[in-house]
Amino acid sequence: MADKTRIVSSSHLVSERAAELSELEFALILSGNAFNRWMVRCMRAAGMPDVSVLDILVLHNVNSREREKSLSEVCFVLNVEDSHLVNYSLKKLRKLGLVDGVKRGKEVHYATTAAGRDMCEKYRQVREDCLVETFQRLGVNAEEVGDVAKTLRAISGVYDQASRAASSI
């Protein structure tokens, strides 16, 4: 039987021991870029055209669960190593009037403003209309999607550990 054709972005990286890893990585690249494009276009449709992917992620994270968050908490939850990038996003979101910060001790704690919460709700509505509705029409098994999400979160830990190992070489 002929070797299975692998759909990968970098054939020279395909390992005989884990060819599926290259397929996964290509799927992550495609999915990541599509998701990033989606977030920016969804936010634009919601009325906020000049924000980056990270700005959007930070805004939604700060808004989540309606409680204040520090810079380190936002970085931790989003798994962003470069805190200065998140700090820049927080400053940008403050200038846009979407978040505000209160200094407590040595840290600033951020929360969404009324305008920020309103923007998150507008984003949610565009998401419902454009993404959720299509997702449901396709008949995708929601439980399977949940399982994929759990697997991807676990795999992120594998990549984090591999990053630490590579950093020590």
155 lies in some domain? yes
3 lies in some domain? no
64 lies in some domain? yes
pLDDT, tens only, 96-108? 999 999 999 999 9
pLDDT for res 16: 85
Lowest mean pLDDT among 29-38, 74-83, 98-107, 132-141: 132-141
Which CATH number do you get for residue 126?
1.10.10.10
169 lies in some domain? no
4 lies in some domain? no
Using a 10 angstrom Cβ sphere, with 0-12 exposed, 13-18 middle and 19 or more buried, the burial of residue 124 is middle
What pTM value is reported for the model?
Answer: 0.92
DSSP, res 3: P
pLDDT, tens only, 100-131? 999 999 999 999 999 999 999 999 999 999 99
pLDDT, tens only, 78-98? 999 999 999 999 999 999 999
Lowest mean pLDDT among 27-41, 131-145, 151-165: 131-145
Nearest by Cα to 54 from 28, 78, 81, 29: 78
User: Using CA atoms, how far apart are residues 58 and 48, in angstroms rounded to an integer?
Assistant: 14
The number of domains in the chain is: 1
